[in-house]
Amino acid sequence: MEHWSIEDYNNYKNTNKVRKSKYRATKTSIDGHTFDSQKEAEYYCELKLKLQAKEIKGFCLQPTFILAPGLKYKADFVVFNDDNTYEIIDVKGFKTKEYIAKKKVFEDKFNLSIREID
């Protein structure tokens, strides 16, 4: 049986604090914003390029919508198009049951579709 000193245990504990994402997504930071996945960060970069090229009017990061008291849905982006339309965007690698339920409530309540980027 191996015995650790308190120092060995603390070193072990401190070097193994990184938690893996449940769905293998890697949090990624760009421009001071932290995204839940590399895919979401890449989409953000695409939107920045589209904005620079004047293909879109603008976009909003992680807007929150109130579905009911105590129930919120946070989209990844809202994109404002040149024709004065807008799209609710969710970048998905995996659709949880909670997301599917919230999507249905959102679409019914606001009569809008969520565009999913796979």
Q: What is the pLDDT of residue 2?
A: 64
Q: What is the pLDDT of residue 14?
A: 65
What is the three-state SS of the chain? CCCCCHHHHHHHHHHCCCCCCCCCCCCEEECCEEECCHHHHHHHHHHHHHHHCCCEEEEEECCEEEEECCEEEECCEEEEECCCCEEEEEECCCCCHHHHHHHHHHHHHHCCCEEEEC
More confident residue, 15 or 117: 117
Token couple for 103: 């999507």
**Average pLDDT for the chain:** 87
| Cα–Cα dist 27/30, whole Å | 10
Does the pLDDT at position 114 exceed 70? yes
For residue range 88-107, list pLDDT tens digits in order: 999 988 889 999 999 999 99
For residue range 24-73, list pLDDT tens digits in order: 678 888 898 889 889 999 999 999 999 999 999 999 999 999 999 999 99
Instruction: Give the lowest-confidence range in 11-15, 70-74, 114-118.
Output: 11-15
Does the pLDDT at position 80 exceed 90? yes
Token look-up 């603390």 returns 10
Does the pLDDT at position 18 exceed 50? no
